[in-house]
Amino acid sequence: VIDFLKTRYIDSSGLSVLVNLWKRIREEGGGLRLANLSEDLRSYFQLARLDGVFRIADSQETAPEDF
């Protein structure tokens, strides 16, 4: 679970890191969840069509429920 509570902005380099991390974790049979995205970050992930790739939780506490 990656907590974005204190993250206000992510650029294309940051998205690339997340996608590569997601791929590596998935290859090992694991899962990656994102939590506490602001409305702006949620919109950014939607525009980049990554909201279908990453599972996004409202909070860090609810994210493990998706595993």
| Confidence at residue 67, expressed as pLDDT on a 0 to 100 scale | 60
> Which pLDDT does position 35 carry in this prediction?
95
List average pLDDT for each run of 10 residues in the chain, which is 67 residues long.
94 94 95 94 93 89 74
Whole-prediction pTM value?
0.84
In the chain, what's the furthest Cα-to-Cα distance? 31
Return the HEC string of the chain. CEECCCCCCCCHHHHHHHHHHHHHHHHCCCCCEEECCCHHHHHHHHHCCCCCCCEEECCCCCHHHHC
Which pLDDT value is given to residue 66? 60
Planar angle of CA 26, 39, 23, nearest 5 degrees: 10
